[in-house]
Amino acid sequence: MKYTQLGRTGLKVSRLVLGTMNFGPQTDENDSHAIMDAALGAGINFFDTANVYGQGENKGRTEKIIGSWFAKGGGRRDKVVLATKVYGNMAADGDAWPNHDRLSALNIRRAVDASLKRLGTDHIDVYQFHHIDRATPFEEIWQAVDVLVQQGKILYAGSSNFPGYKIAQANETAARRGGTIGLVSEQCLYNLAERRAEMEVVPAAQEYGLGVIPWSPLHGGLLGGVLKKQAESGRRADGRAAAALADPATRGRIQAYEDLLDKHGVEPGEAALAWLLARPGVTGPIVGPRTAGQLDSALRAVELEPGEELLSGLDEIFPGPGPSPEAFAW
């Protein structure tokens, strides 16, 4: 496994981030524990979750599964850089009581304590805001974060799904307060097929020293060899991939993508991850394996070093927006 610093911090993290969203809804507790053991054994030390993972009536279930894995001992907690998130409505029926969601100081305090209990730990390494809260000023958010840092309940704060201007606003507010390190990471939708983050989010993250943690690196399976799998198994794509493939232009790009990788002898999913690992500012993509086999494929991507010919071919199929602001200014 290869490691890098998380943004401008001294925190060393693996180039792959283990996503746990499937733990509970799609992967049972025993298999989830086996995947975490395999990830740790392979050197992945950065685990990502969220308080709402588990879905519906089981919100919080994923954190509990991670907590039961930590409870097995063997240095598991000490070896892991643990990231979770706050913002979502934790009520099973979606009808949250006032101040039981979003980023008020009251909810942040309540949510941290609830996550710590589910996770069975005394601290969270990277506490991430899952979404912007338009109703809560950053002065209040940073005041709450400062208290939690002083209490030893969290070490760093990160963002997720923030636009570039909110990253700037958050860190400028932190700088004015003094003594607050501000955001150290941004978790955003970013992959070959969805490169809008290059317009503002990635430049803002680089300017302020945030590590970029892409989620959905395979774009819902679209970049994981979906057409090849269809041809081999006859099983149709579902979800986001099925909706995307209904568009002839998108289907043509995916076919060209798979043909290019077949020419180079590279598996599509591994190429998509390797491309992200080569992008400026990227700390590491989040991989959310449902099985041990999917984890093995992700691990191979870390060792893959795509050549200039392959990278150029990928850019031709999935052109990015170009440098900011030139991409939209003229």
Active-site positions read: 53
Asked if residue 1 lies in contact with residue 295, where contact means CB atoms within 8 angstroms, the answer is no
Nearest Cα neighbor of 107 from 140, 75, 139 is 140
- What Cα–Cα distance (Å) separates residue 175 from each residue in 171, 180, 181? 6, 7, 8
**DSSP symbols for 39-74:** HHHTT--EEE--TTTT-GGGTTHHHHHHHHHHTT-T
**DSSP symbols for 127-186:** EEESS--TTS-HHHHHHHHHHHHHHTSEEEEEEES--HHHHHHHHHHHHHHSS---EEEE
C-alpha–C-alpha distance, residues 90 and 303, integer Å: 39
- Residue 170, classified by CB atoms within 10 Å of its CB into exposed (0-12), middle (13-18) or buried (19+), is buried
C-alpha–C-alpha distance, residues 51 and 211, integer Å: 21
Nearest Cα neighbor of 166 from 209, 117, 200, 125 is 200
C-alpha–C-alpha distance, residues 217 and 287, integer Å: 7
Asked if residue 321 lies in contact with residue 195, where contact means CB atoms within 8 angstroms, the answer is yes
**Structural tokens at position 59:** 């919100």
Count other Cβ atoms within 10 Å, centred on residue 60: 21
Beta bridge partners of 86: 129
